[in-house]
Amino acid sequence: MEKEVSRDNIEAGQIIMEESESGSRNLSGYMGLFIFAVAISMSIFQIYTGFAGELAGSKQLSIHLTFAMILCFAYFPARKKSPKNRIPLPDIILGIFAAGCAFYLFANYNHVVTSVGDAETYDIIIGFTLIVLVLEATRRSISPILPLICIIFLLYAYYGPYLPGELAHRGFRVKRIVDHIFMSGEGLWGVPLRVSATFVFLFVLFGAFLDKIGAGSYLINLSFAVMGKYRGGPAKAAVVASCAMGSISGSSIANTVTTGAMTIPLMKKVGFSSVTAGAVEVAASTNGQLMPPIMGAAAFIMAEIIGVPYIEIVKAAFIPAVLSYTAIFSIVHLEAVKENIRGLTKEETPVFLKTFISGFHFLIPLGILIWLLLIVRWTPTTAASWSILAGAFTALGNNYLRKVKFFPEMVRENLESDDPAFLDYKADPDNFMFGRTKKELLDSLETGARNMAGIAVACASCGIIVGVVTLTGLGLKMAVLITEAAGGNLLLTLIFSVFACIILGMGLPTTATYIIMAAMTAPAIMTISTDLSLGLPIVAIHLFVFYYGIVADDTPPVGLCAYAAAGISGADPVKTGLKSFRLDLAAFTLPFMFIYNTKLLMMNTTILELCYMIPICIIGMFCWSVFIQGFWIVKTYLLERIVFLGLAFLLVNPSGITVMKMEINQHVINVFAIIIMVVIYYWQKSRKMAS
């Protein structure tokens, strides 16, 4: 019998999330107040530069990294046994040194920019110290894997003459390596940290604002109101809620815990196993990074690396994101039908209209963000800044509604709740609105900075890798090696890239995986595309490696999302990861499809064509789901399963196929595929009736 989800289970998942996202230290006293002030100062600085414009050159990056280094050594312990309620003296010392070294660029900016290639000895000492401390901060906040990879790259830069074949280079002394990484704009202060210090921070802060004021809970409740009553309703609500949350948070593990705390217990209640409940949440939450408009940090870095407006990334990612969620939703539905799992009862399901109206104001900041990004075409930085301001006013309006309507009704009806806001209202009704709003805004500012600390140092570490690649020409060398190994074949090159993404991604966050693959394998794909005169858009190539970086994020045995979900559901984390990997298989096929058919990225197509193509592709993803589940009306035979696999590839293929040198029009293929589906439907229905 499945064990129930307890508060301890939920807290276990939240602990995993907090330790991964924002550190496990909870500080109090004067030191806690000081670090709290540092975090708020970081957020205020980022909002100010979001409105006024970023500081010149790399000054913005220097201050951003200074704040991040302080917070990393404050919030993330060196070891599991380190104190969690105070900062030990060694961490204080390391934090001071790290902040000083990071701030050195801002304080001596003119000297640094005029000394590139001819650094003084003290410059090299400060730069070397900062590199070491960035790697240590990354080890604490992200994973030991990323610093290890950075060290391997640094050793490669030094020992180049001793390497075989194409990988060999003339080698560089320590002074030259540190000079390039620390003094120039192609190492620590490169694109990854620049994006972290501008776009990414503001979007993470925007997500923190929405979460703290209650938008996350509202979206989850709205998902239950829409989907809860249907067969397997809680699982379908989990998919919808994770999609909605992913569009505002961009964090897989935070998405898993936030939505999973509500969805996983209800999934188990209606009959899903612990493993399946956790796996559904993991698969849906991981794919949240695919859902515009936020898409996680990597999408912003992608826009900077390839030099296209961020809106182009959003546009290209939209249809694949919809198709990915269609597949997960369909798999969940078929699982519920196969296991005869019910939905929520009428009493358990929130009333849609009442739920929608109760929190409609939470949609205002998100609506403003989408309007500014997609319609007005403001820069992501400016759009995010104004959306944060809208979030602050929404918090004030929400607390006004609580004060004058919702909470007085609860008091009159003698209702009790453990909602902290309700407890604050009961304690001091007169000062509730402004007092609660101030608390929510300060908590949002602190949480945004705390969540960004690890991302910032990870981006700095990725800058070290990029610096070595530009210094040694490794990117071009890897492109040559991969091209030769693949024999000039595009498909083999793509497969090699997939394996590289999966292997790296098992120990790295999506952002780090994408940056490394963008430097190493994307040039190889581009080279083959040029050699074969395929003309693949650069956006398609970089989205390809981005997608596999996301899939790798929940690939067993390392995926933290699976551990967080398993902590909530009480299931085995490895089994949960394997099951989520199976649910996520749609994301494995989609990149290949849009590489070969860029119309899926809304390129070289028309609105009319899209209106025809999208429903056909959705049917194709349903066929893929039937193949994965081995079930439709009844359990599929092996031959039926193979047929559905073929139908999936035929339908999600907007360009037709060639058979024996004869071109077959896509419209003919679509009609043929749908006829086959209708035949199988009635065939399975007759088998069900016969049984």
pLDDT digits (tens, 9 = 90+) for 664-679: 677 888 888 999 999 9
């790295």: which residue's tokens?
A: 508
């900041």: which residue's tokens?
A: 365
The answer to the question of residue 624 being in a domain is yes
Q: What is the pLDDT of residues 233-279, one digit of tens each?
A: 888 888 888 887 776 666 677 778 778 888 888 888 888 888 888 88
pLDDT score recorded for residue 504: 72
Beta strands 662-664 and 657-659, pairing class: antiparallel
State which amino acid sits at residue 624.
W
Q: How far apart are CA 103 and CA 114, in angstroms?
A: 17
Helices (runs of H) and strands (runs of E) counted in the chain = 33, 2
User: Quick one: three-class SS letters along 471-536?
Assistant: HHCHHHHHHHHHHHHCCCCHHHHHHHHHHHHHHHHCCCCHHHHHHHHHHHCHHHHHHHHHHCCCCC
| Stated length of the chain | 691
Structure tokens belonging to residue 198: 């501008």
Q: How far apart are CA 573 and CA 269, in angstroms?
A: 20
Segment among 16-20, 375-379, 433-437, 635-639 with least mean pLDDT:
16-20
Confidence check: pLDDT of 1 > 50:
no
Segment among 120-124, 282-286, 547-551 with least mean pLDDT:
547-551
Helix axes 638-651, 586-596, angle to 10 degrees: 40
- pTM for the full model? 0.85
Domain holding 138, by residue range, is 7-192
Q: How far apart are CA 490 and CA 483, in angstroms?
A: 9
Confidence check: pLDDT of 20 > 60:
no
Final residue before a domain boundary, out of 166, 192, 218: 192
Confidence check: pLDDT of 148 > 80:
yes
Instruction: Pick the closest to residue 666 from 651, 648, 647 (CA basis).
Output: 651
Contact 205, 46 (CB under 8 A): yes
Q: How far apart are CA 548 and CA 562, in angstroms?
A: 17
Contact 141, 72 (CB under 8 A): yes
Query: In whole angstroms, how far apart are CA 91 and each of 41, 42, 128, 162, 670?
Result: 21, 20, 19, 38, 63
Judging by beta carbons within 10 Å of its beta carbon (0-12, 13-18, 19+), is residue 50 exposed, middle or buried? Answer: buried
Q: How many CB atoms lie within 10 A of CB 508?
A: 26
pLDDT score recorded for residue 660: 45
Final residue before a domain boundary, out of 192, 221, 242: 192
pLDDT score recorded for residue 670: 86
When comparing pLDDT for 476 and 601, which is higher? Answer: 601
Instruction: Pick the closest to residue 101 from 457, 532, 487 (CA basis).
Output: 457
CA angle 498, 305, 380 (to 5 degrees): 110
Final residue before a domain boundary, out of 174, 192, 210: 192
SS3 at position 81: coil
- The alpha carbon of residue 335 and the mean position of all alpha carbons in its chain are separated, in whole angstroms, by 26
With the CA atoms of 297, 518, 578 and 458 taken in that order, what torsion angle do they form, in degrees rounded to the nearest 10? -50
Confidence check: pLDDT of 503 > 80:
no
Structure tokens belonging to residue 190: 């490169």
* DSSP at 375: I
SS3 at position 117: coil
The answer to the question of residue 426 being in a domain is no
The answer to the question of residue 127 being in a domain is yes
How large is the average pLDDT for residues 512-520?
A: 84
Contact 316, 604 (CB under 8 A): no
What percentage of the chain reaches a pLDDT higher than 90? 30
Q: How far apart are CA 235 and CA 579, in angstroms?
A: 14
As for how many domains the chain has, the answer is 2
Q: Over the chain, what is the mean pLDDT?
A: 86
The answer to the question of residue 26 being in a domain is yes
SS3 at position 351: coil
Contact 483, 524 (CB under 8 A): yes
When comparing pLDDT for 101 and 569, which is higher? Answer: 101
When comparing pLDDT for 295 and 570, which is higher? Answer: 570
The answer to the question of residue 2 being in a domain is no
Q: How far apart are CA 465 and CA 385, in angstroms?
A: 30
Confidence check: pLDDT of 87 > 60:
yes
Q: How far apart are CA 584 and CA 581, in angstroms?
A: 5
pLDDT score recorded for residue 655: 60
Instruction: Pick the closest to residue 256 from 216, 221, 285, 213 (CA basis).
Output: 285
Q: Which residues contact 422 (CB under 8 A, 6 or more apart)?
A: 407, 410
Q: What are phi and psi of 658, to 5 degrees?
A: -115, 125
How large is the average pLDDT for residues 441-451?
A: 93
- The pLDDT confidence band at residue 130, using thresholds 50, 70 and 90, is very high
Query: In whole angstroms, how far apart are CA 203 and each of 94, 196, 364, 553?
Result: 29, 10, 16, 20
SS3 at position 657: strand
State which amino acid sits at residue 26.
N
The answer to the question of residue 478 being in a domain is no
Q: What are phi and psi of 38, to 5 degrees?
A: -60, -45
How large is the average pLDDT for residues 387-410?
A: 90
The answer to the question of residue 488 being in a domain is no
- The pLDDT confidence band at residue 518, using thresholds 50, 70 and 90, is confident
pLDDT score recorded for residue 453: 92
Structure tokens belonging to residue 507: 């120990």
The sign of the dihedral angle between the CA atoms of 43, 48, 54, 60 is negative
Confidence check: pLDDT of 590 > 80:
yes
- The pLDDT confidence band at residue 7, using thresholds 50, 70 and 90, is low
């990149």: which residue's tokens?
A: 591
Bond into 77 cis (ω within 30): no
pLDDT score recorded for residue 15: 60
The answer to the question of residue 329 being in a domain is no
Q: How many CB atoms lie within 10 A of CB 282?
A: 36
């939470």: which residue's tokens?
A: 362
Contact 420, 457 (CB under 8 A): no
How large is the average pLDDT for residues 40-44?
A: 96
Q: What is the pLDDT of residues 594-640, one digit of tens each?
A: 888 888 899 888 888 888 888 998 998 899 999 988 999 999 999 99
pLDDT score recorded for residue 446: 95
Q: 663 has which bridge partners?
A: 658
